Amino acid sequence: MILEAKNIGFRYKNSGYILKNLDFSISSNERVALLAKSGYGKTTLARIMSGYLKQNWGEVLIDGEEIPGSGFHPVQLIYQHPEKTFNPKWKMKKSLEENGNPDEKLIDLLEIKGTWLDRYPSELSGGELQRFAIARAITQETKFIIADEITAMLDGISQAQIWHSLIEITKKRNIGMIVITHNRELADKVCTSIVKLHEINNI
């Protein structure tokens, strides 16, 4: 399975182009780092590929077909700040069930403790919340995930644990992973290949 961004162009209103004539692709057996400095359009591209933002031109395809505009999106985006993606009034069990019943094997792989399910987001650490964000993003319909600086704010131990779990999960489920980062060392450790955004973005 191949995810493609073809000839993507994007600009925010009253600003210059952030992305222009950009081509990018990833197969389901790959972990590709998208490397760039902050403010260079990494997150904008991630939001376009995961359906949160509409490009000005170009297309996003899976195996040559446009991704349906409704229903569960096969490309799931995981953000840097998980605390902003959960309803603060919901306990974690309810949030986790948004996309259906959570997979117990996935919960085990992510080392999510049963006691965390009855807590609110404010009662968990950043690393614990990020595990829930990953679990919520990965369902039977998930074909690709985009990890946008997901461990940048975490301590070294939490970073290592989360990446170890993600690599194991994506391998077992044949899910392609785009790792958005400015950290070359992380990209070398986690990914099978590296793409520098400035080399594919024609601005």
Side-chain half-sphere of 153: how many Cα atoms within 13 Å?
13
In 3D space, the residue among 180, 113, 114 whose CA is nearest the CA of residue 144 turns out to be 180
Q: pTM to 2 decimals? A: 0.92
* pLDDT on residue 88: 95
Helical pair 126-137 and 156-173, crossing angle rounded to 10 deg: 10
Q: Which alpha helices (H) appear in 5-155, and where do they start and end?
A: 42-49, 92-96, 104-109, 126-137
In 3D space, the residue among 171, 175, 132, 168 whose CA is nearest the CA of residue 150 turns out to be 132
SS3 category, 81: coil
In 3D space, the residue among 193, 202, 192, 180 whose CA is nearest the CA of residue 36 turns out to be 180
How confident is the model over 26-53, as pLDDT tens digits?
Answer: 999 899 999 988 888 999 999 999 999 9
Paired with 62 in beta bridges are 3, 65
How confident is the model over 111-160, as pLDDT tens digits?
Answer: 999 999 999 999 999 999 999 999 999 988 999 999 999 998 888 888 99
